[in-house]
Chain A
Amino acid sequence: MVNAATLDRSLLSAPLAPGAALDVRGVSHHYQLKGAPLPVLDNVSLTAAPGEFVALLGPSGCGKSTLLRLVAGLEPPTQGELSVDGAPITGPDPSRVVVFQDPTLYPWRTVWRNAALGLEARGLLRSQRSRVDAALELVGLNGFADAYPHQLSGGMAQRAALARALVNEPRLLILDEPLGKLDSLTRIAMQGELVRLWQREGFTTLLVTHDVEEALLLATRVVVFSPRPARITAEIPVDLAYPRHRDDARLVKLRREVLALLGVGDATV
């Protein structure tokens, strides 16, 4: 039997598993558009085990970002339930951090102070300043700590937004096309960084992307959505060891399958 003292200690020093378990059960959602309800999500059920890397693929406007907003706790779903580690999601929480589709950096703050936002909001900045520096270093922006957002390129802004999320050591990292605005070379480099980071930190990752190859390259599982209202049309486990290579024959084969699911199977140029 464990006595009370050791139980307390174990709660304090050995935290929960670094990754959170996500459970989305029967979630439907609609928005009001010109007075009429606009169905966006249709009975979506999805789970992610602790430390899993799930990629969400779907046509533009199908409702991927909406699903992420619900997981982040920014809005309650019209129907269904979402929970993390068995506890229902009732609002935003810094253990579930979102990197939005737009970087949405605060123009009145420098890159450093943008990245420090989460720590500042929770009153931790004084004691943990070094985490901000570390996160900026990780995304290669330590030379731009004192720059203002309007002095950054689109890709740099996107990386600053990623740093702002990583500072908080999330247990569930929610990424909405975080690499969408990067040039293809930076993108390849950042994909590698992302996988290494995920492997090292062990957080659960939910990644929305338009890019089939990116989904297959990064994720342990790819979830494919139908056009709006989004339903899950396929779940494809990607059973390949890391580091992965984009020319891998199995990956190329999977890509063809997924593209077929998205309705562009034999598209040629």
Chain B
Amino acid sequence: MDVKIERLRESLKISLKGELDQHEARGVLMRFGELESQALPARCVLDLSALGFTDSSGIAVLLGLERRVRDAGGELTVVNIPPQARRVFDAAGLSRVMRFE
């Protein structure tokens, strides 16, 4: 799985490309760990347009990222969620605790 982290002028954009499962989740969480040491912009966007697949491992990844961003005083918005991922997140009621667009 490819994790791209881009610092734009006033926001942070994270893009995931590939399939997200328990096997891939470790690497993704490690990349998110890099964010810890940096000051985060208030606005963070997670772009899932190239997410080919996710299972429940993705739920923990999203919740972990949301918490990290919130602890740094920012807000996370998840954009471009493909249908398969949307069905997984909906089954878990994730849209009630996170901002989807």
> Do chains A and B interact in one complex?
no
Residues of A within 8 A of B (CB): none
